[in-house]
Amino acid sequence: MVHPTHDETEYILETQNLDIFYGDFKAVAHVNMKIQRKKITAIIGPSGCGKSTLLRAFNRMNELVPGSAIKGRILFQGQNLYAPDVDPVEVRHRIGMVFQKPNPFPKSIYDNIAWGARVHGYKGNMDELVEYSLRQAALWDEVKDKLGQSGLALSGGQQQRLCIARALAVQPEVILMDEPASALDPIATLKIEELMQELKQHYTIVIVTHNMQQAARASDYTAMMMLTDDDTRSGTVIEFDETTKIFTRPGDRRTEDYVTGRFG
Amino acid sequence: MLRKTFENELQQVKDDILVLGSMVEQAVLASVEALKKRDPQASQKVIETDRKVNEKRFEIENQVMVLIATQQPMAHDLRLLASILDVASEIERMGDYAKGIAIINIRMGDQPLLKPLIDIPRMAEKGTDMLHRALTAFVNEDADTARTIPREDDEIDMLYNQVYRELVTYIMSDPKNIERANWLLWAAHNLERLGDRVTNICERTIFIATGEIQEIDSTWDELGEGKA
């Protein structure tokens, strides 16, 4: 199996003056950030500051919410993701997503992996793809003898890795993770974090997390989001830097207050 | 306010640093006073106090480790706790200098002082005064004051050079003085090193306040007498 060929330029995603709206409400304002290829970028910040909204804009998931719209641009490999000729399904194929709550299909482990690939027109050897994806998600050894069992019969941590395997099966370049470990116990959480370190050899990961220790442990870059001080109550990125810097000597007082637990 | 318990615990560790500092200030002054008066019993007391200094240092270290393990400190809190570990060990080493001077006094036995002590007590007073202010700046995270204190280390270095030159003349005038001169030179050297460690504490204060590691060199250090 070959890995998807990556354009080796440094930044895979870039937002330019990005605003995100739900109807009249500007949920996220003026975000300019560049996401590095094959690195893990964490988005942190208090509840309701637009972290998930920003994450979902990266693969046009917000469009599924009626009334949502963006201003500004998001470039993926230099190409405008929201250009009229871009197919959102193709976007979600190349930029996959893993959610907070593991959501395997009520089907066999095998079919959980195979289904997406089939939909995307995969013509290769399906057994190989299933094994490869499960191996990449560090789940193969635990499930290889029960591929016909329901995905729902797995533990929470295994289900989440199954969802990661499912996302990998369509060979994306970016994986967006929205609080992927918040419903898991500490051991399952660490397994996901270890897995992320493996995956970044081939993929770019953007993760939203409420768990600051997780951001500190697992990510290379951290973006701190916060509501703006004005009346709009929009969220924006107030600081974006190397994770080590954000957690040892942040530049913005508000980041300092947040990471030391004094915000609020 | 969020994290009130944590704030209180941080304050407690800072207070303990001040306690440790004042134990060592007293030990340094007492060790020199005992040497000046050739009072071996007083020196023995200094040696006993050093055990308490070491215990207090480990107590602080333990408090810091518990806070790291239980509170997951970040950013400023992390810099503060890491610096407290470092500063506690600096102070403890200064305590060893006091103990060293106490041991010198005991080892000197019945031999009288080669000369009356004038500059060595001055070095001790200057050094402990700097230590006191450096620790106050440390717990207040006052980078401005921390930047000014190391300059005063030149005064200690000057006194040390003076003691050195004087003792060398004693040695040259009569080689039989070598041993007694050496005892005093050793004591003076300990106090000179104490000044350097005060500078290290000031560097930590600047680090906590600004996040920047800034190395402060006094003139003497540039002559190759590096800091520990």
pLDDT tens, A102-140? 999 999 999 999 998 888 888 999 999 999 999 999 999
**What is the full DSSP assignment across A68-100?**
EEEEEEEEETTEETT-TT--HHHHHHHEEEE-S
Evaluate if residue B219 carries a pLDDT over 80: no
**What's the CA gap between B102 and B193, in Å, rounded?**
16
User: What are A87's two structure tokens?
Assistant: 């197919």
**Coil, helix or strand at residue B29:** helix
pLDDT at res. B227: 42
| Confidence check: pLDDT of B164 > 90 | yes
B/e letters for A175-190, b = 16+ CB within 10 Å, e = fewer, are bbbbbbbebbeeebbb
d(CA B106, CA A106): 83
- Mean pLDDT in residue range A195-214: 94
**C-alpha pair distances (Å), A256 with each of A161, A218, B101, B104, B181:** 33, 19, 45, 49, 54
**Residue B75 and residue A250: Cβ atoms within 8 Å?**
yes
pLDDT of residue A1: 41
Contact A248 B75 (CB under 8 A): yes
Q: Is the pLDDT reported for residue B218 higher than 80?
A: no
Summarize pLDDT for A60-87 with one digit per residue, the tens: 999 989 999 999 999 999 999 999 999 9
Contact A256 B75 (CB under 8 A): yes
Q: What is the pLDDT of residue B2?
A: 72
Write the pLDDT tens digit of every residue in A157-198.
999 999 999 999 999 999 999 999 998 889 989 989 999 999
- Predicted TM-score (pTM) of the model is 0.82
Q: Kindly tell me if the per-residue pLDDT of A143 is higher than 80.
A: yes
Choose the mutation target among B10, B71, B74 for the interface with A, i.e. most A CBs under 10 Å: B74
Residue B168 β-bridge partners: none
pLDDT tens-digit map of B69-121 = 989 999 999 999 999 999 999 999 999 999 999 999 999 999 999 999 999 99
Q: Which residues of B touch A256 (CB under 8 A)?
A: 75-76
Q: What percent of chain B has pLDDT over 90?
A: 89
pLDDT tens digits for range A4-43: 454 556 899 999 999 999 999 999 999 999 999 999 999 9
Interchain contact, B3 vs A249, CB within 8 Å: no
What residue ranges in chain A does DSSP mark as E strands? Answer: 11-22, 25-31, 34-36, 40-44, 68-76, 79-80, 95-98, 174-178, 204-208, 221-227, 235-242
Distance from CA of A240 to the nearest CA of B (A): 15
Strands A174-178 and A95-98, bridge-based pairing:
parallel
Band the pLDDT of B125: cuts 50, 70, 90: very high
**pLDDT mean across residues, chain B:** 93
Q: Mean pLDDT throughout B164-189?
A: 95
